[in-house]
């Protein structure tokens, strides 16, 4: 019954090892990516927030086939002129944080990618929606579930699409493991372990400022463990417990978490056990079932992502995550393609509901029920 699938898997494995020309189509067949095509004009994107991640996205987009940078929104005129010459951006497509509502009169921009500090996402996304443009918003989508609901409502009212920058949803090793889990190859899922963390530097950066970050490591990288637990297990959690450890209260002030351990319970009895930290290097997901396991290590960094299962290693070729993400998102926005895993506002909202529950569990010390 599974002979076609087994054949494709074996074929893919051998093509990857031998690096033969058929690799791309076999890769698409097993990863579930690039199977829908969008052959229309490219998605014309303006990037809001020309900081470190905005710059990474812009570089990666140079290899995109379906998405193109055509505009910028920034508060720093010198950055605007550097980006203009680097990416050939006309002056009429450059805005600042005061006047970007005027983008509504610009027919040459389809979408705005919001890549600013977390606390700014809500208002900026709502303003972009009111200007009638599609929005891609970086993670975490908002500071809490209520903000996400307001953003979703605004985009619905304006009839524009809202996507969240979940690049891992397009990463081939990750997608392949999720596909294997969906096909039952690991059996009944029993547990997930997720570690996401890095030792954060400069104590004056916005990530350590509660007003701009909305929290600490959980908001920034813990969200990958929350999201990863959901896509790896393939169910929505029904309860949360959580504990916080703070070794440096001078650096990690009130409301800025340094390390949080959290546990999620799933309807079938599976449990997730996760650690997120601004003090410990952590980048690993493990999924355990009664017939097998999968490990991603690294699991959420910029790659190459490394994956193995009880059957051996996966070795998909490394592609810049943001290149694939933006090409796929162009297909979703302009071609109405359906992604293998959702990257819409509802998906962002679910993660913030879990995060709200984690913070509540830390505060109360109690098990918090969840209904996603
Ligand atoms: P950054 O500090 O490098 O850049 C932030 C940009 O926002 C800067 O250009 C800054 O000038 C601008 N900005 C506008 N208003 C500001 C204000 N009031 N205060 C501070 N800066 C302001 O940060 P970053 O690493 O690029 O992160 C931006 C967003 O991207 C965050 O939401 C973060 O979570 C997300 N991010 C996502 C990934 C990913 O892999 N998906 C990776 C890194 C960051």
Q: Which of 49, 75, 77, 276 to mutate for ligand 1's pocket (most ligand atoms within 8 Å of CB)?
A: 49
pLDDT on residue 8: 33
Tell whether 100 is covered by a domain. Answer: yes
Atom of ligand 1 lying closest to residue 121 CA:
32
Q: Which of 63, 303, 291 is nearest to 180 (CA)?
A: 291
Q: Which of 46, 117, 198, 218 to mutate for ligand 1's pocket (most ligand atoms within 8 Å of CB)?
A: 117
Q: Which of 50, 51, 348 to mutate for ligand 1's pocket (most ligand atoms within 8 Å of CB)?
A: 51
- Region for residue 303 given its phi and psi (left: phi exceeds 0; alpha: psi -120 to 50; beta: otherwise): left
Q: Does residue 258 share a domain with residue 145?
A: no
Candidate list 224, 231, 278, 359, residue with the active-site label = 224
Question: What is the distance in A from the centroid of ligand 1 to the CA of 240?
Answer: 29
Question: What is the distance in A from the centroid of ligand 1 to the CA of 126?
Answer: 18
CATH number at residue 125: 3.40.50.720
Tell which of 167, 196, 216 closes a domain: 167
Summarised one tens digit per residue, pLDDT across range 335-347 is 999 988 899 999 9
Tell which of 122, 143, 167 closes a domain: 167
Q: Does residue 202 share a domain with residue 113?
A: no
pLDDT in single tens digits along all 372 residues of the chain? 333 333 333 333 333 322 222 223 333 434 445 556 778 899 999 999 999 999 999 999 999 999 999 999 999 999 999 999 999 999 999 999 999 999 999 999 999 999 999 999 999 999 999 999 999 999 999 999 999 999 999 999 999 999 999 999 999 999 999 999 999 999 999 999 999 999 999 999 999 999 999 999 999 999 999 999 999 999 999 999 999 999 999 999 999 999 999 999 999 999 999 999 999 999 999 999 999 999 999 999 999 999 999 999 998 999 999 999 999 999 999 999 998 889 999 999 999 999 999 999 999 999 999 999
Q: Does residue 296 share a domain with residue 258?
A: yes
User: pTM for this one?
Assistant: 0.92
Check if the beta carbon of residue 72 is closer than 8 Å to that of residue 110: no
Tell whether 321 is covered by a domain. Answer: no
Q: Does residue 248 share a domain with residue 218?
A: yes
Q: Does residue 218 share a domain with residue 163?
A: no
Tokens of 14: 């051998």
Decide whether any atom of ligand 1 lies within 6 Å of the 118 Cβ: yes
pLDDT on residue 338: 92
Tell whether 63 is covered by a domain. Answer: yes
Candidate list 139, 161, 350, 353, residue with the active-site label = 139
Domain count, the chain: 2
List CB contacts of 365: < 8 A, sequence separation 6 or more.
Answer: none
pLDDT on residue 109: 98
Tell whether 191 is covered by a domain. Answer: yes
pLDDT on residue 39: 82
Summarised one tens digit per residue, pLDDT across range 239-249 is 999 999 999 99
Question: What is the distance in A from the centroid of ligand 1 to the CA of 49?
Answer: 6
Decide whether any atom of ligand 1 lies within 6 Å of the 198 Cβ: no
Tokens of 49: 């927030």
Check if the beta carbon of residue 155 is closer than 8 Å to that of residue 345: yes
Q: Does residue 223 share a domain with residue 249?
A: yes
Decide whether any atom of ligand 1 lies within 6 Å of the 32 Cβ: no
Decide whether any atom of ligand 1 lies within 6 Å of the 75 Cβ: yes
Q: Does residue 48 share a domain with residue 194?
A: no
Q: Does residue 243 share a domain with residue 104?
A: no
Helices assigned H by DSSP within the chain = 3-18, 23-31, 52-61, 77-87, 121-130, 145-158, 172-182, 210-213, 217, 223-233, 321-335, 345-364
Q: Does residue 128 share a domain with residue 197?
A: no
Tell whether 324 is covered by a domain. Answer: no
CATH number at residue 232: 3.30.360.10
Q: Does residue 355 share a domain with residue 279?
A: yes
List CB contacts of 347: < 8 A, sequence separation 6 or more.
Answer: 164, 166, 227, 341
Tell whether 30 is covered by a domain. Answer: yes
pLDDT on residue 136: 99
Decide whether any atom of ligand 1 lies within 6 Å of the 165 Cβ: yes
Domain residue limits at 212:
171-316+345-369
Tell whether 329 is covered by a domain. Answer: no
**Residue 100 CA to chain centroid, in angstroms?**
25
pLDDT on residue 35: 54
Tell which of 167, 191, 213 closes a domain: 167
Tell whether 336 is covered by a domain. Answer: no
Q: Does residue 35 share a domain with residue 111?
A: yes
Whether 224 is catalytic is yes
Q: Does residue 100 share a domain with residue 233?
A: no
pLDDT on residue 29: 37
Q: Cβ of 364: how many Cβ atoms within 10 Å? A: 10
């Amino acid at each position: 019954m599974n002979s076609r699938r087994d054949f494709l898997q074996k074929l893919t494995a051998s093509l990857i090892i031998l690096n033969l020309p058929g690799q791309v189509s076999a890769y698409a067949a097993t990863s579930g990516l690039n199977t829908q095509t969008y052959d229309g004009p490219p998605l014309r994107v303006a990037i809001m927030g020309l900081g470190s991640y905005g710059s990474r996205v812009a570089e990666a987009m140079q290899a995109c086939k379906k998405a193109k940078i055509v505009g910028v929104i920034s508060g720093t005129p010198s950055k605007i002129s550097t980006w203009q010459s680097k990416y050939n951006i006309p002056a009429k497509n450059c805005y600042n944080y005061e006047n970007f509502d005027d983008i509504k009169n610009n027919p040459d921009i389809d979408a705005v990618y919001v890549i600013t500090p977390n606390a700014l996402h809500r208002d900026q996304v709502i303003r972009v929606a009111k200007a009638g443009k599609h929005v891609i918003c970086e993670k975490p989508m908002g500071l809490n579930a209520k903000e996400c609901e307001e953003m979703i409502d605004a985009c619905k009212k304006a009839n524009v699409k809202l996507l969240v920058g979940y690049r891992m949803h397009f990463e081939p090793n990750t997608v392949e493991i999720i596909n294997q889990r969906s096909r039952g190859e690991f059996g009944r899922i029993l547990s997930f372990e997720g570690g996401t963390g890095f030792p954060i530097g400069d104590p004056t950066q916005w990530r350590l400022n509660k007003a701009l970050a909305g929290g600490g490591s959980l908001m920034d990288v813990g969200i990958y463990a929350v999201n990863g637990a959901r896509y790896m297990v393939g169910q929505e959690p029904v309860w949360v417990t959580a504990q916080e450890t703070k070794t440096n209260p001078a650096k990690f002030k009130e409301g800025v978490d340094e390390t949080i351990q959290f546990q999620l319970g799933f309807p079938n009895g599976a449990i997730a056990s996760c650690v997120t930290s601004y003090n410990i290097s952590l980048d690993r997901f493990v999924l355990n079932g009664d017939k097998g396991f999968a490990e991603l290590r690294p699991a959420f960094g910029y790659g190459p992502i490394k994956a193995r299962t009880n059957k051996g290693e996966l070795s998909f070729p490394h592609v810049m995550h943001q290149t694939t993400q933006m090409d796929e998102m162009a297909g979703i926005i302009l071609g109405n393609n359906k992604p293998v895993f959702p990257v819409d506002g509802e998906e962002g909202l679910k993660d913030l509901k879990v995060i709200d529950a984690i913070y509540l569990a830390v505060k109360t010390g109690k098990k918090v029920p969840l209904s996603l």
